[in-house]
Structure 1
Amino acid sequence: MVDDVALTLRPAGLPWEVAGSLYVAGTTAYATVFAVDPGPGETVVVSGAAGGVGSIAVQLARRRGARVIGLASEANHAWLKGHGVVPVAYGECVAERIRAASGGNADAFIDTYGDGYVELAVELGVRPERIDTICDWAGAARVGARTYGEGAAACAVVVGELARLAARGELEVPIARVYPLERVRDAFGELERRHAHGKIVLRP
């Protein structure tokens, strides 16, 4: 038995794969943007900007009028540019590339990848309360950053808002690949490689 307040309608024409991705990836992205609260003209850096959560977070931050710098592999730079995001390659000397792209001013940082990005945000001069990570809880504890993510915005109201944006073509939810349920091991293998553009979906 599910209470009706926990349900939202799937808009006509919205693919099931997209609708099914919104509860986890979509609401997590929503929570990260809410946590750092970007305003018009502010600069937000997003690590893992082409992943399942990051690809939605960059779009939501752009909708709030922020200038968004997305860290991603070069294969995903064209997609980021197409969504108004300034792409920056990750790897060695990434701090210098971010400073060059941001003009030396980063106001907020959303970390969807881990691997030292919380410390990098501090190095860039971002205040801890404007840093949010969904995976580096130890790093967040050390510097006092936020950890809003899965569960923080997981409700029917947020899912419904995201679904309506996607149905109107105002939010793209990239689907990296759809696997049948019996290939769940292959799906997790691809997920662990951490190079997928968008969400990996299991179809029952």
Structure 2
Amino acid sequence: MRTLDDAWRWYQAVAEGMKRLTHLAKFWGEFPWEQSDEWVARVKQNNVLRHVEAVQMSAEAKVVSDEHDDLAVLVLFSVFEAVVRDRLRSQLEPEISRLKHPSLVRAGKEVEETIAHGSFGKLLQAFKLNEQEKNLVEQVNQIRAWRNWVAHGRRAEMRPATEVRPRDAYERLNEFLQLIQNFTPADSTPPVTQP
């Protein structure tokens, strides 16, 4: 998954698949398994389906569904972080490449390293330019805290105060991506120098 939309489609596909499996399980025991028509014979020959019981189908669908929302937030935020880091790199690369003074060149390399491997929370802080953007960055930080909680074992004592649902995460993260999309690299044409 390379985009938030890819991750969202995965979330919806899994949710729909588990819903369908749960509904299929309701009717599984009512199928006429003792009949000898062609459909029943094909199902009985299928190695995946022939030994499945309705209770097993329901239980397995529940296991997936119970974890699905938290895992979706983890996936959404992970994809988002990769997209943000890539976007920042491509936006700042032209500006960093124009640096000439050795101190600035070194600082530029440190910025590149921070974008690639540094604290993501610190990268977000740069976008707190006004009250509306501060609020959006805080909402993204709530999603980051929830993702971290899920990724590190969902320990009760570490649970964030604000619960995050997948749709909210998807919408907020997309809003932030729109914000940083508006930041464009400086004009890449070299300045004209006077002789």
Q: TM-score, normalised by structure 2?
A: 0.24
Which structure shows the higher strand fraction?
Answer: 1
Considering only CA atoms, is the larger Rg found in Structure 1 or Structure 2? 2
